[in-house]
């Protein structure tokens, strides 16, 4: 997948409003592979909805979303499965980790399905993000900021053309946020992925190709 196109989309709940001031809703926006985008939003403006629309979890919007030239509304269930396995990686705001598993198990479980990363690389990211001592710690006993770092590494174990990150550093300190940004910049350089990051406050401090107000 080379691009994601939003053509005049708007959440159905906003469709009757004529006072929307947005650089995305009811606009034509294209996200290109190999570039990075920050979507800044106030609470309640539909940030997480937008990510869910792109990921195919929700369809309660008007307008059209295309992956390359294909309208995603035409995708079958199997096609969406293939897209999520091969084209889009996702870091959810609520993380969606398994609390009964350890940090390492949460990541290795994903990597066993994809066979995408060497365990040596995964453990190096744990070390860089200062959670190497949490490898055998159950997720349920870790802070939310530590869990964010685990979810981030898990996302990197997914083959992808685009990475979607919904408020990835909301609970991180500046040092670990900076390390995460450095890893992402390297992924863009080395793999040519497109990156879409959302924020309602603390942002992932990258050199974005474009910053967009929702």
Q: Residue 201 has what pLDDT?
A: 83
Q: What pTM was computed for the model?
A: 0.94
**Count of other CB atoms within 10 angstroms of residue 44:** 7
State the pLDDT at residue 112: 97
- Rg over alpha carbons for the chain, rounded to the nearest Å, is 17
Q: Determine the pLDDT at residue 17.
A: 86
pLDDT at 154: 98
Q: What is the pLDDT of residue 6?
A: 98
Q: Which CATH architecture has domain 3-213?
A: 3-Layer(aba) Sandwich (3.40)
- DSSP, residue by residue, 164-213: EEESTTTT--HHHHHHHHHHHHHHHHHH--EEEEEESSS------SEEEE
| Confidence (pLDDT) at 20 | 87
The confidence score (pLDDT) of residue 95 equals 96
Q: Where are the domains of the chain?
A: 3-213
Residue 196 pairs with which residues in a beta bridge?
37, 164
Which residues, given as ranges, of the chain have pLDDT below 50? none
* Residue 18, pLDDT score: 84
Query: What are the Cα distances from residue 21, in Å, to 34, 51, 62?
Result: 28, 19, 17
Percent of the chain at pLDDT > 90 equals 91
């Amino acid at each position: 997948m080379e691009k994601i196109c939003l053509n005049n989309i708007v959440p159905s709940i906003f469709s009757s409003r004529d006072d929307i001031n947005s650089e995305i809703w009811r606009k034509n926006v294209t996200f290109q592979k190999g570039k990075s985008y920050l979507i800044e939003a106030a609470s309640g403006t539909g940030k997480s909805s937008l990510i869910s629309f792109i990921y195919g979890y929700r369809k309660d919007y008007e307008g059209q979303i295309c992956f390359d030239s294909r309208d995603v509304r035409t995708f079958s269930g199997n096609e969406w499965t293939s897209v999520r396995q091969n084209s889009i990686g996702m870091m959810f705001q609520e993380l969606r980790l398994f609390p009964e598993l350890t940090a390492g198990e949460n990541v290795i479980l994903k990597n066993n399905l994809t066979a995408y990363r060497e365990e040596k690389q995964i453990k190096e990211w744990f070390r860089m993000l200062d959670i190497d001592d949490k490898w055998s710690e159950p997720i349920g006993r870790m802070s939310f900021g530590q869990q964010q770092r685990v979810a981030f590494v898990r996302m990197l174990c997914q083959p992808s053309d685009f990475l979607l990150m919904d408020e990835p550093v909301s609970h991180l300190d500046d040092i670990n946020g900076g390390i995460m940004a450095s890893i992402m910049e390297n992924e863009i350089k080395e793999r040519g992925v497109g990156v879409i990051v959302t924020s309602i406050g603390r942002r992932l401090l990258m050199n974005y190709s474009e910053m967009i107000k929702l």
